[in-house]
Chains A and B, each alone.
Chain A
Amino acid sequence: MTAIAVDVAAERLRWESAYRTAYPRVYRGLLALGARSDEAEDALQDAFVKGLERGIDRPVTSVDGWIFVVASRAWRGRRIRERIFLPWTLLRERETPTADATRDVLAALRRLSLRQRQVIVARYIVGLAQEETAELLGIARGTVSATTTQAIAALRRLMEVTE
């Protein structure tokens, strides 16, 4: 095996290992954001391939965070395309809640704004620090803090109502 081939294999293994470590948290985070399981799987696979193509040696704050942001972007892109191109009746069928809706806290989470969901998922499911969340989502640290507080308060209110 040539030196280049060894480097390529090592790089791939390193990326795959990081990806597999991050997968459970990010997958569940995408479901919590509102993705269907097939959408979350596809989005994560997109992120894996993108990471392979672009290399992970670019300066990134957190591999988990990078995968989360890239995958959630891929999911939202697909969802937007579906909203534009799928007949409304089909879309309604596809969005029918499944067993997830029975979990109050996740049902409540899905009633928050997208930004609030992103911040909550990034902070508490993916496990990013406030600074990482701010950098990856392209918002100020203060905004992360304020959004977190508002979102948790809203979640608590929603859960009290549904209890």
Chain B
Amino acid sequence: MTTPSEQWVVNALRQATDQLPLPPESRWIRERRSTSRLQPAVMAVLAAMFIVAVAGTIAALRAERIVPATPSEAFVAADDAAWQQVRAAMPADVLVLRPALLPVEFRTAGTPECPSPTASWQQMARTYDVVYRSGAIVGPQSKPENSTCVRLEFSIGRQVEGTVSPSLTEVGTISARGTSIRVRAGTEFSDRFTGVSRHLVYLNWTESGSFYEISTFDLDLPTLTAIVRSLEPVR
């Protein structure tokens, strides 16, 4: 219950904010970055060169992509701190599962733009998350401040599994943790900052009354399988 004087303040606030102009509706959603003024043919050549370069790099790195998650003292310290934070925050009967294997790009202690790993409580999802980030991606048409981090996210919670969005489609299963874990992928979208096409990869399962999620972008099934099978309890 508000008094008349309080109501006056609230009314003044609402009137002031109602006068704030909105951006045109065309700018409310911007999933696809407008790419450039270059000719389409030039764009096609650049895109082809980019794809070839990325494919070559991936092929070169694939053989040793999955490696033990213990590369440097800085990373180990940050990794231990993040998982101990989760362990301390969760009830003792919740199994906190930590990956022993990580893709090579997530084995670094991160950068100021993309700190890694970090642990945080997610109020909305009611989960504790540990997020690994790799170096910032800056697309050919984007500014450095608009870089985006590649993420690999582990979530642990006590809640019952929520309904998975129908926009995610099942792309495979992983036999691990004594169950069959369904792997889902989102529709491909263009990263609005970098212009790079990406798709969300998401998997979840319940175990001993707790809820576990892994979400990331673009990881393939063998990599995800290796990660899930490497999960170990944090003591």
Known contacts A23-B28, A124-B13; A136/B123 CB under 8 A: yes
| Residues of B participating in the A interface, judged by any CB pair closer than 8 Å | 2, 5-6, 8-10, 12-14, 16-20, 22-23, 25, 27-31, 112-113, 121, 123-125, 145, 162-169, 186-187, 189, 192, 200, 215
For the complex, would chain B's binding face be called helix, strand, loop or mixed by DSSP majority? loop
Chain A count of residues within 8 A CB distance of the other chain = 55
Query: What are the residues of chain B within 8 A of A44 when measuring CB–CB?
Result: 28
B165 and A11: CB pair below 8 A? yes
B192 CB contact (under 8 Å) in A27, A31, A49? A49
| Residues of A participating in the B interface, judged by any CB pair closer than 8 Å | 4, 7-8, 10-12, 16, 19-20, 23-24, 27-29, 31-32, 37, 41, 44-45, 48-49, 52-60, 66, 69-70, 81, 84-85, 100, 103-106, 109, 120, 124-125, 135-138, 152-153, 155-156, 159
B2 and A54: CB pair below 8 A? no
CA distance A103 to B121 in the complex (A): 36
Starting from the known contacts A23-B28, A27-B22, 4 additional A-B residue pairs (CB-CB under 8 Å) come to A27-B20, A85-B112, A100-B20, A136-B123
B112 and A156: CB pair below 8 A? no
Closest to B30 in A: A45
Known contacts A27-B23, A49-B31, A81-B113; A57/B9 CB under 8 A: no
A106 and B17: CB pair below 8 A? yes
